[in-house]
Amino acid sequence: MCGIVGYIGNRQAYPVILKGLKRLEYRGYDSAGIALLQEGQLAVHKKQGKVADLEELVAGKRVQANIGIGHTRWATHGAPNDINAHPHLSGDGKLAIVHNGIIENYASIKKDLIQKGHRFLGDTDSEVIAHFIEEIKRQNQCALEEAIRLVLKRIVGAYVIVILDCDNPGELIAVRKGSPLVIGIGKGEHFLASDASPIIEYTQEVVYVNDYEIAIVRPDELVLKNSSNEVQTPYIQKLDMELASIEKDGYDYFMQKEIFEQPQRIFDSLRGRLNAQKGRLTLGGLHQYMDAFIQANRMVILACGTSWHAGLVAEYMIEKMARIPVEVEYASEFRYRDPIINKGDVILAISQSGETADTLVAIEEAKEKGAVVFGVCNVVGASIPRVSHAGAYTHAGPEIGVASTKAFTAQLTVLVQIAIKVGYEKGTLSPSQYFNLLHALEQIPDKVAEVLKKDQEIKEIARKYEGYKDFLFLGRGYNFPVALEGALKLKEVSYIHAEGYPAAEMKHGPIALVEESLPVVFIATRDAHYSKIVSNIQEVKARNGKVIAVVNEGDDTLRELVDDVIAVPETEEALAPLVNVIPLQLLAYHIGVLKNLDVDKPRNLAKSVTVE
């Protein structure tokens, strides 16, 4: 949700910022811009479209500068055009800002500024910040830092703002509340970014700026101050990220790379936690809160999108194995209905990015009401893990494709480990069930690798169906959330309308849609619901529907009944989503690519949704 890069030091700022913006483009890609300070003057270049369009615009222009800021945008206020692209300038043109987030009370501030004579060029909330800082600085005759501090007291919302000022040419000032900001520490240079990916090739040492902190960043110095203007000692952390993990590595798309990485990422998520031979399962973060889990009267899972689907799978797992009642809530809905939190409730927050604003504010609300919050996140050091009482990282590595794939299966891997561990400790899983599950879990990376060998076969099926306009995805039990996820992947990357439903619900409405032009994808692997789902398939076939079925290997009954099958290895029912979702990811990927779409950056989407 908007990517920010800043540089100050001895290098040429432009190439550093441009490369950084390309790395952050997954956060938003409707326009991009850059401001450089050249001999005391600001040079600003902005362009609607992708970072490559900005690069083309700037080609041949003079870009020499050792300090600058850049931005790649996901529009909230104002159309994605050149004018609304960041950086934005103050009225006197001396101050440039880039902003990630939303200023909720911008309209009243803007009105007030207009009355004072300010003239705005575009429609963004962000442009207001530049003018507001200028106005406050002038009114109070104060230094920039003080003006920023005063402005922060007046604005409501979420933000990272980085400010470049002609009158303060030796520093960048950055502030954060509710959106991420990382500062890379180099020798005589500093890098600012929305995540560590633009920084990693220059330095491993980073500081994650906290909410309400102000960072004054000079080539040789990083001064961090809290909201009371007290200097803080920056907590320098070592980055645990490899450059290769944020590059395509020979694949056509990040989405493809990330789908194919899944055996390794699931393995990474089990590494150091699972030892099936010794019957050991250890999740560090869980250990300390095991009593809270065992005694929980209720668990509430909070998440959005794909992470919410992982939460639905977890509901089935936890209820079955640990016998704890679970509610799975869209974080955005939970937050605003004055949620009831009782003593003994445990909140499980699931988020790839760890920055999703809806999830973040929901868990803050739950925490305030006394709940124990356990975070399941991928990005180390992100906001959600930081505000959670405890948690477990999913270890999927950076996910760059906007449509989530490997993060989903890594989430499932962590969630099933939680369910198994709590169930075992609570005594609701017998030792033999426990050992069986551990052994089955250990085999999942190999089973996922088996499914990936079907890539070409799935591509052929994609070719057959790429022209259809609507799809239905159906599954029962553990496979119902898989159906939802399959439908979401398809609509995200191919723009084909797709719905996911519990298969039994079909006859309560969606069956009205069934006809020859509606492909129905059934997830019909062998489990407790198998015979029922076979009946549901019959119902679709009886109405001339086209059926693609994900079945277990050796299932000749369904092979004969349906139009196309994708056979996957069998596993324990609770682990089947980890295997069964893979063909649906590949189907969506191939249909998107066949339709000539940029599957890594679907239209209108952005990764890491840091606005509510």
Sequential DSSP letters for 53-78: HHHHHHTTS----SEEEEEEE--SSS
Q: In what order do the strands lie in the sheet with 3-8?
A: 41-48, 31-38, 67-73, 3-8, 190-193, 182-185, 205-208, 236-238
Catalytic residue among 257, 406, 601, 607: 607
Q: Is 352 in the site for ligand F6R (CB under 6 A)?
A: yes
Element (H, E) at 298: strand 298-303
Q: Is 353 in the site for ligand F6R (CB under 6 A)?
A: yes
| Binding piece for ligand F6R, criterion CB under 6 A, among 207-215, 300-308, 445-453, 545-553 | 300-308
Please, which residue, 31 or 608, has the CB nearer to ligand F6R? 608
Q: How far is the CB of 378 from ligand F6R (least distance, A)?
A: 8
Q: How many CB atoms lie within 10 A of CB 227?
A: 15
Q: Which residue in the set 256, 383, 404, 585 belongs to the binding site for ligand F6R (CB under 6 A)?
A: 404
Nearest-angstrom CA–CA distance, 395 and 405:
13
> Is residue 337 a contact partner of residue 436, using CB atoms and an 8 Å limit?
no
Q: Is 609 in the site for ligand F6R (CB under 6 A)?
A: yes
Q: What angle do CA 374, 403, 79 make, to 5 degrees?
A: 105
Please, which residue, 318 or 349, has the CB nearer to ligand F6R? 349
Q: What angle do CA 177, 207, 235 make, to 5 degrees?
A: 105
Nearest-angstrom CA–CA distance, 40 and 456:
57
HEC sequence for 85-129: CCCEECCCCCEEEEEEEEECCHHHHHHHHHHCCCCCCCCCHHHHH
Q: Is 248 a catalytic residue?
A: no
Taking the CA atoms of 183, 185, 191 and 195 in sequence, report the sign of the dihedral they define. Answer: negative
Please, which residue, 58 or 377, has the CB nearer to ligand F6R? 377
> Is residue 34 a contact partner of residue 98, using CB atoms and an 8 Å limit?
no
Residue nearest to ligand F6R (CB): 305
Q: String of b and e for 595-606 (b: at least 16 CB within 10 Å)?
A: eeeebbbbeebb
Please, which residue, 45 or 406, has the CB nearer to ligand F6R? 406
Q: Per-residue string for binding with ligand F6R, 452-491, x by CB under 6 A?
A: ------------------------------------x---
Q: Is 61 a catalytic residue?
A: no
Q: How far is the CB of 404 from ligand F6R (least distance, A)?
A: 3
Q: How far is the CB of 482 from ligand F6R (least distance, A)?
A: 14
Please, which residue, 84 or 394, has the CB nearer to ligand F6R? 394
Q: Which residue in the set 30, 258, 492, 612 belongs to the binding site for ligand F6R (CB under 6 A)?
A: 492
Q: Is 305 in the site for ligand F6R (CB under 6 A)?
A: yes
| Binding piece for ligand F6R, criterion CB under 6 A, among 117-125, 254-262, 347-355, 448-456 | 347-355
Please, which residue, 475 or 569, has the CB nearer to ligand F6R? 475
Q: How far is the CB of 190 from ligand F6R (least distance, A)?
A: 27
Nearest-angstrom CA–CA distance, 265 and 241:
14
Q: Which residue in the set 48, 66, 351, 580 belongs to the binding site for ligand F6R (CB under 6 A)?
A: 351
| Binding piece for ligand F6R, criterion CB under 6 A, among 105-113, 303-311, 438-446, 502-510 | 303-311
Q: Is 306 in the site for ligand F6R (CB under 6 A)?
A: yes
Q: How many CB atoms lie within 10 A of CB 204?
A: 16
- Max Cα–Cα distance, the chain, nearest Å: 81
Q: Which residue in the set 34, 54, 403, 440 belongs to the binding site for ligand F6R (CB under 6 A)?
A: 403
| Binding piece for ligand F6R, criterion CB under 6 A, among 45-53, 123-131, 298-306, 498-506 | 298-306
Site of interaction with ligand F6R (CB under 6 A): 304-307, 351-353, 356, 359, 403-404, 488, 492, 608-609
Residues identified as active-site: 2, 607
